[in-house]
Amino acid sequence: MVTHVLLAMGMLLLVAKIFGEIVERYGIASLVGEIIAGIVLGPILGWVVLGEFLNEFLMFGVIFMLLIAGLEVKFDDIKKHIYKAAVLAFFGGIASLFLGFVVGMIFFNNFIVSLAIGVAFVSTSNGTLFMILMRIGEFKSDMGKIIIAVTIADDIVGMLALSFFTMFMTGANVAVGDLGKLFLVSIGLYLFILSFGSKLFNRILDIAGFLRDEHILFTVPVIITFLLAFLTHHLSLSIAVGAFLAGVAMANNKFTDSVIRPKIDVMGYGFLLPLFYASIGTMLVFVGLDILLIIAILVTAILGKFIGCGLISRFFGHDWKEMKLIGLSMIPRGNENIGIVQIMLILGAFTMTVYTSIIFVMVMTVIATPILLKLFYKSKY
């Protein structure tokens, strides 16, 4: 068993990194190539089939994915845009949730499946969006900072949506009062972790920085992340929420940019994330795919963000060109969304066919966004 796992992991990592490098040279996020690598090794060639151990192990990929996303959030950089960002993130999330839910009801007439489709597309992929903004020269511009603020608020909306969905899936006869209680618990936990928790974690990290062990600033953040993921899981808020909160709480520490993030990135981008994305490719099923469903979800994924974030930005005084940049930049779904869908699959929210269709759409949004920006937004691109 051990030798089979080692062979599978070695093959997945090798081909994932090769394919990731190839697609990045064409301006496409590396996760697309890594997923394609899994498709080649799994469904096409049949060389890799995930076993129970590897399937469970890959949950660490989800945790590191959300930790990395959280570490990118620096509240001070986007503070002046926070109210506008919260409004745009809310409407972008609501529009995406509603449209995804409608598509689910049309195709499946099932509340849970429809809700799962909607929740899966609530948030935008931070990593993909940041890469796109850097490529078009807008990452450090005023508009870039507004978009970054929106996607940070968007993460919180997405995590809250996942929390509500997890409660639906794990609880029976959920009442409105229970949802209100979960909302208050979620907001309370966010405020507690980002205020008292952030100060506590930063104090712990400052102490760790004086120790002789040069790797302690990797070990301590991972411990904090695992403990928070455990806590949020037992509060019915999902492990993803805990991992994300841990990252945000540690994002402003003096060691984060210089020591912690480089160490976390090596473990994440060098090992767990390419393995995670490639494993997703091995699980995709090409038999019985519903092309109409894929097209419908893709259209709603694009329209949800363009309407909810782009069009609504006109009410804040943005012109047509800025509106297009905001709306189109928020389209890609990737890292966090794939982690959320993986959690939904484990919860039994939908079948492998629906899972495959959702992953296809997420990959397509990553590919489509740079193309749409090139077509409809000309400045600096």
Is 185 among the domain residues?
yes
Lowest-confidence segment of 6-20, 51-65, 101-115, 170-184 by average pLDDT: 170-184
Is 337 among the domain residues?
yes
Residue 177 has pLDDT above 90, yes or no: no
Distance of alpha carbon 174 from alpha carbon 290, whole angstroms? 32
Residue 292 has pLDDT above 90, yes or no: yes
Report residue 307's pLDDT band, with 50, 70 and 90 as the boundaries: very high
Q: At what angle do helices 176-192 and 142-170 cross, to 10 degrees?
A: 130
Is 144 among the domain residues?
yes
Residue 170 has pLDDT above 80, yes or no: no
Do 208 and 195 form a contact (C-beta atoms < 8 A)?
no
Is 40 among the domain residues?
no
Is 78 among the domain residues?
yes
Is 242 among the domain residues?
yes
CA torsion, ordered 73, 192, 253, 214, to nearest 10 deg: -110
List the domain range (segments joined by +) for residue 204: 61-270+287-376
The phi and psi torsions of 263 (rounded to 5 degrees) equal -70, -45
Which one is predicted more confidently, 129 or 300? 300
Is 32 among the domain residues?
no
Residue 77 has pLDDT above 60, yes or no: yes
Report residue 165's pLDDT band, with 50, 70 and 90 as the boundaries: confident
Q: How many domains does the chain have?
A: 1
Task: Tell me the three state secondary structure of residue 204.
Answer: helix
Q: What is the pLDDT of residues 311-366, one digit of tens each?
A: 999 998 898 888 999 999 999 887 678 878 888 888 888 888 888 889 889 888 88
Do 249 and 198 form a contact (C-beta atoms < 8 A)?
yes
Residue 297 has pLDDT above 70, yes or no: yes
Q: Looking at residue 347, which CATH number applies to its domain?
A: 1.20.1530.20
Dihedral sign from CA coordinates of 372, 130, 118, 297: positive
Is 25 among the domain residues?
no
Task: Tell me the three state secondary structure of residue 164.
Answer: helix
Distance of alpha carbon 215 from alpha carbon 226, whole angstroms? 17
Task: Give pLDDT, residue 312.
Answer: 93
Mean pLDDT of the chain: 83
Distance of alpha carbon 194 from alpha carbon 191, whole angstroms? 5
Task: Give pLDDT, residue 93.
Answer: 93
Do 51 and 1 form a contact (C-beta atoms < 8 A)?
yes
* Mean pLDDT for the stretch of residues 179-206: 79
Report residue 380's pLDDT band, with 50, 70 and 90 as the boundaries: very low
Task: Give pLDDT, residue 76.
Answer: 66
Distance of alpha carbon 207 from alpha carbon 201, whole angstroms? 10
Q: Give the DSSP per-residue string, 211-280.
A: SS-TTHHHHHHHHHHHHHHHHHHHTTS-HHHHHHHHHHHHTTSTTIIIIIHHHHHHHIIIIIHHHHHHHH
Q: What is the pLDDT of residues 60-76, one digit of tens each?
A: 887 888 788 778 777 66
Length of the chain: 381
Give the HSE-up count for residue 166: Cα atoms under 13 Å, Cβ half-sphere. 24
* Mean pLDDT for the stretch of residues 123-143: 73
Report residue 125's pLDDT band, with 50, 70 and 90 as the boundaries: confident
Percent of the chain with pLDDT over 70: 88
Task: Give pLDDT, residue 303.
Answer: 95
Task: Give pLDDT, residue 289.
Answer: 75
Rg (CA), the chain: 20
